[in-house]
Amino acid sequence: MHTKKMLQSLQEIVGKEFVTTDRFATFAYSEDASNFGGTHAAGVVRPGSTEEVALILSLANRQRIPVVVRGGGASIYGQPKGIPGHNLLLDMTRMNNVKEINPQSMTVTAQAGIIMSKLELACRKEGFYIFTPFVPNHIVSLGGWMSGVAGSAGLWKDIISMTVVLADGTVVTTGGGPGTNRHQPLVYNRTLGGPDFTGLFTGDGGSFGIKTEATVRIRKYPPFVRAGIMEFATLGNVLAMMERHVQRDTSFPFDALLVFGAGAMENFAVGTEGVKAFTVQRMAMGYSSDELDCRLAAFHADAQELGGTSNPALEAMAVAMEASTGTEGDPGMDWMALFNGFGRAAWLPFTLPREGFADVYHQLLAWREERMRAADERGYRCNATWEFFTVSDQSTIIGEMDVFFEETHEPGLQAYARDLMRDFQEYAHRLGSIDVYNQGFMADLNATCWSPGFKGLFQTVKTSLDPNNILNPGLWSDLKKDPER
Amino acid sequence: MIAMGRNVMKELEKVRRYIYNCRKCGVCSGKVTSKVPYVCPVKESTAGFDHFSSRGKTVIAQGLLEGAISPSAELAEVIYSCTLCGNCMTQCGSINQDTGEALVDTTKIVEAMRADFLQNHPKWIDPAYRSILSSTRQYNNPWGLSRTEKEKWAKKMKIKNAQKEPSPVLLFVGCTMASSQELSSRPRKAAEIMSTANVDFAILGKDEPCCGSVQKRIGDVPLAREMMEENINLFNSLGCEAIVTLCAGCANMLKNDYRESKEKLKPRVLHIVEFLPKLIQERKLQLREKHSLKATYHDPCHIGRHMGIYDQPRAILNALPGVDLIERYATKENTICCGAGGGMRIFESGSLAEKIGHAALKSAMQVGAKALVTACPFCEMNLDAASRSLNNQIPVYDIIDMVYEALQ
């Protein structure tokens, strides 16, 4: 990377001001939102267009320079490590423009470096929204979300098309529309005209190509929000509520049933002190008040039948939730930043089949309790814990059982939290969890669980698209731990 | 203390809690809402690398503490590329629930880095900053003003001298307000406003010391501390009940930074925008309509985000007949800095500050404002310079001008 000629070539591509090799400048990218850290790069470049990315990759491919991509730096499991000290890091956040909102086709096209809240705000100004319920929206970029999260956690069905630069600089546009069909000027349907290559690049961790643009489905913003909260004494009854919930067919993408673990609520919501049970929250958005009243009434009826109870504190909380979610059309809250005041977070997410969930859930909780005792013995005090889960589709439950440590202002705590996350995931994976995060450590862990056939397919695709292995090298490749290898 | 080769990051060590409290999530860098078009004016107006943002600077500070990176002349330049506006802290929003203190105080992190660099590597610091410090040592003000220049504005005015005739109110003019002919009309106007309202006040004239704000912001902690201690002794000896400042930087320094001193400042500290509403309410000032004007108010960071003064200047402007006060999208605690904060008028010869100033002016024009009103000489100077380079499309006024005009 450190040749004068290379530096000069990069400067010619993007302009002198958008390339740096200063040590402090590259060091600034060595941390991100995770406890796992960012990337140690030899140089950072901020491209402004797909064409510039294509020229950069073409150059890097010829020189065999590892390229690592960064959007908002919002990962939970760390940035791709590449080859530390040799990487060329592409900071994509300069590519942050909304290119078109098409109210007729109900699509938005934007550059991949855009932070989601900026994209969301642009859509809401036109009366639309993008379905991104679990996005840390002030932090993550569109490209980061599409690449680093498997299926983009709900967004994936709504991604219609991606523009991707392959390792050799070739630019491809997936999905229906002009990228697939040269006679069709509109980007409006992903699954027509050939195999679903958009899916190929979704959740790839940036290993198959660099996303520079995407077209995403938008929906008319629903003007009404309603919330209801009930408490349940047992996990069995909670799961019965979930079963009823997923048996219904809904036309709303966000039709959430959010569950907080026993006693979790009182750690985080003022006025809910003394709520020791599981709480199940029904959040519903819709286009008429009557419709929502009916849906909430059905929720309360089901809950009461299954042993759910309510109390004034929870009712007040529901009203507060309606108000905070609001319909003013401003993506104000960011779930990740919301926890910044709670101390050093060890995020412990899981994704499990609904079938057999209860048993694994209890095992994971017991594992966490044991580790919390060990942490305490080492002098790491716990500020709070919480458990949260929700259905992500008919068969899957996605959730977290996070821990927040009192900050010690020493690097040791970050390392401890990182180890806790790593150990938890290794344990959870042995119990069948497959997490949605295809980033850093988690991508490596997922890869150790691949079947031989899947692994072979991955390697074939990777070798075809990136024969010199310059794109995020190392990601997915921690195969040494794989007992089958 | 962590040694950095031959260097010691003494001041940075004192703020390590802020560095480790930071989760590096980047909300300080990426947040966008209808009221927050962007967070960091410096990142927005430069090439946008992470080291221009709050997160990047905090990562660098951590690297310096842990010995992962070394100080350099280039890095010295970077740590001065911050307006200290504090918008990153506001948008981060992490506060200690018991004390209300910011969990990640970026302004303190940046000031500490500046202090350590200035202490350990003075030659790497822009000579213009060093010149401010030598002026302070020589003249007791950052701009090299002689003692007579500091009281020039009060010539031919019969104003009490606080050291000779004790008064309940000390009008503290500030060095910057006295530094140019244009700005020095403000203390005169402020004094006339106070006289009109029969306020019993006094000034220090040629003996008015510098508050130490500029010196602290650019990193000379020992000098600022020395000034602070001397000033507290002086102010406490005057027997006044309140100090009314005309400069936002002085107000923030006297009210907030002086709390760090062992000796406590006895008089209350008020910026003039906090002092005037009561006079208007009590009808001690008869305000008349001079001309109708659709104006918007630019919250100076020092008295806005750092002191929480938002309503009082708006109350003043709303009381002025003919003034139609409108708000920009990013206003009050979300206001984007004018560009002059943290010594940025000096950084890159003021070009970056001016670029940031353009954004402030454009945001005012975007909502249809015909004038931008502020309450800080640094804001005014920078916005005025930015306005000139935009062919004076929107004039910039100090709030004192507006009140003074309405009294004529």
The total of other beta-carbon atoms located within 10 Å of residue B77's CB is 15
Range among A290-294, A338-342, A401-405 rated most confident: A401-405
What local confidence, expressed as pLDDT, does residue A154 receive? 59
**Quick one: which of B209, B60, B56 has its CA closest to A73?**
B56
The model's pLDDT over B6-52, given as tens digits with 9 standing for 90+, comes to: 458 999 999 999 999 999 999 998 999 989 999 999 999 999 999 99
Cα–Cα distance measured from residue B122 to residue B118, given in angstroms and rounded to the nearest whole number: 5
Interface-testing mutation among B4, B23, B78, B98, with chain A (most A C-beta atoms within 10 A): B23
The model's pLDDT over A414-458, given as tens digits with 9 standing for 90+, comes to: 999 999 999 999 999 999 998 888 888 899 899 999 999 999 999
User: If you ran DSSP here, which 8-state letter would residue A105 be given?
Assistant: T
Q: Of A255-264, B250-259, B285-294, B327-336, which gets the smallest average pLDDT?
A: A255-264
Cα–Cα distance measured from residue A391 to residue B134, given in angstroms and rounded to the nearest whole number: 66
Residue A284 belongs to what H/E stretch?
strand A278-286
- Residue B292's Cα: distance from chain center in Å? 29
**Is the pLDDT confidence value at B382 over 60?**
yes
Instruction: Mark yes or no for CB contact B48/A139 under 8 Å.
Output: no
What local confidence, expressed as pLDDT, does residue B2 receive? 43
Q: What percent of chain A has pLDDT over 70?
A: 91
Which tokens go with B178? 């006295």
Contacts of residue A168, defined as CB under 8 A and 6 or more positions apart, other chains included, come to: A57, A58, A61
What local confidence, expressed as pLDDT, does residue B277 receive? 97
Can you tell me the mean pLDDT for A258-262? Answer: 89
For residue A177, the number of C-alpha atoms closer than 13 Å in the C-beta half-sphere is 24
The shortest CB-CB distance from B25 to any of A20, A30, A33 is to: A33
Q: Is A365 on the interface with B (CB under 8 A)?
A: no
DSSP state string for A356-407: THHHHHHHHHHHHHHHHHHHHHTT--EEEEEEEEEEEETTEEEEEEEEEEPP
Cα–Cα distance measured from residue A319 to residue A315, given in angstroms and rounded to the nearest whole number: 6
**Is the pLDDT confidence value at B192 over 70?**
yes
Residue carrying structure tokens 């040269």: A182
The model's pLDDT over B135-158, given as tens digits with 9 standing for 90+, comes to: 999 999 999 988 888 899 998 899
What local confidence, expressed as pLDDT, does residue A481 receive? 46
The model's pLDDT over A118-161, given as tens digits with 9 standing for 90+, comes to: 999 999 899 998 877 678 889 999 999 999 886 645 566 789 99
Cα–Cα distance measured from residue A149 to residue A135, given in angstroms and rounded to the nearest whole number: 10
Which tokens go with B40? 């960091």
In Å, how far are A7, A334, B169 from B232, measured between CA atoms? 54, 43, 15
Cα–Cα distance measured from residue A21 to residue A1, given in angstroms and rounded to the nearest whole number: 9
Q: Of A150-154, A245-249, B196-200, which gets the smallest average pLDDT?
A: A150-154
Q: DSSP strand E in B267-375: where?
A: 268-271, 293-297, 323-326, 371-374
Pairing of strands A128-129, A107-111: unpaired
Q: Partners of B102 in the beta sheet?
A: B95
Instruction: Mark yes or no for CB contact A117/B31 under 8 Å.
Output: yes
Helices A50-63 and A4-14, axial angle in degrees (round to 10): 170
Band of pLDDT at residue A58, cut at 50, 70 and 90: very high
ipTM of the complex: 0.93
The total of other beta-carbon atoms located within 10 Å of residue A323's CB is 10
Q: Is A32 on the interface with B (CB under 8 A)?
A: yes
Band of pLDDT at residue B3, cut at 50, 70 and 90: very low
What local confidence, expressed as pLDDT, does residue A327 receive? 47
Interface-testing mutation among A14, A19, A24, with chain B (most B C-beta atoms within 10 A): A24
**Is the pLDDT confidence value at A293 over 70?**
yes
Which tokens go with A237? 């009854």
What local confidence, expressed as pLDDT, does residue A136 receive? 86
Can you tell me the mean pLDDT for B172-185? Answer: 89
The model's pLDDT over A359-393, given as tens digits with 9 standing for 90+, comes to: 999 999 999 999 999 999 999 999 989 999 998 88
Q: Partners of A20 in the beta sheet?
A: A44
- Mean pLDDT rounded to a whole number for chain A: 89
**CA distance, residue B49 to nearest chain A CA (Å):** 7
- If DSSP states are collapsed to H, E and C, what string results for B299-321? CCCCCCCCCCCCHHHHHHHHHCC
- 3-class SS at A345? strand
Contacts of residue B348, defined as CB under 8 A and 6 or more positions apart, other chains included, come to: none
What local confidence, expressed as pLDDT, does residue A480 receive? 45
Instruction: Mark yes or no for CB contact B69/A27 under 8 Å.
Output: yes
Residue A91 belongs to what H/E stretch?
strand A87-91
- 3-class SS at B362? helix
Which tokens go with B44? 């927005």
Band of pLDDT at residue A312, cut at 50, 70 and 90: confident
**Quick one: which of B374, B401, B398, B399 has its CA closest to B189?**
B401
Q: Partners of A69 in the beta sheet?
A: A90
The total of other beta-carbon atoms located within 10 Å of residue A415's CB is 11
Residue of B nearest to A407 (CA): B21
**Is the pLDDT confidence value at B354 over 60?**
yes
The shortest CB-CB distance from B47 to any of A27, A46, A344 is to: A46
Q: What percent of chain A has pLDDT over 90?
A: 63
The shortest CB-CB distance from B51 to any of A24, A121, A330 is to: A24
The model's pLDDT over B42-56, given as tens digits with 9 standing for 90+, comes to: 999 999 999 999 999
- The angle subtended at Cα B309 by Cα B307 and Cα B311, nearest 5°, is 165
Q: Which residue type does B155 have?
A: K
**Is the pLDDT confidence value at A459 over 50?**
yes
User: What is the rounded radius of gyration, in angstroms, for the C-alpha atoms of chain A?
Assistant: 23
**CA distance, residue B76 to nearest chain A CA (Å):** 10
For residues A446-481, one letter each, b for 16 or more C-beta atoms within 10 angstroms of the residue's C-beta and e for the rest, the string is bbbbbeeeebeebeeebeebbebebbbbbbbbeeee
Instruction: Mark yes or no for CB contact B63/A334 under 8 Å.
Output: no
Confirm if A165 and A466 have CB atoms less than 8 A apart: no
Cα–Cα distance measured from residue B152 to residue B255, given in angstroms and rounded to the nearest whole number: 26
**Is the pLDDT confidence value at A1 over 70?**
no
Q: Is A330 on the interface with B (CB under 8 A)?
A: yes
Instruction: Mark yes or no for CB contact A28/B75 under 8 Å.
Output: no
What local confidence, expressed as pLDDT, does residue B142 receive? 93
Residue of A nearest to B14 (CA): A409
Cα–Cα distance measured from residue A338 to residue A321, given in angstroms and rounded to the nearest whole number: 15
**Is the pLDDT confidence value at A394 over 90?**
no
What local confidence, expressed as pLDDT, does residue A253 receive? 64
The total of other beta-carbon atoms located within 10 Å of residue B289's CB is 11
Cα–Cα distance measured from residue B190 to residue B158, given in angstroms and rounded to the nearest whole number: 13
**Sign of the C-alpha dihedral computed for residues B3, B6, B9 and B10 taken in this order:** positive
- Judging by beta carbons within 10 Å of its beta carbon (0-12, 13-18, 19+), is residue B198 exposed, middle or buried? exposed
What local confidence, expressed as pLDDT, does residue A333 receive? 60
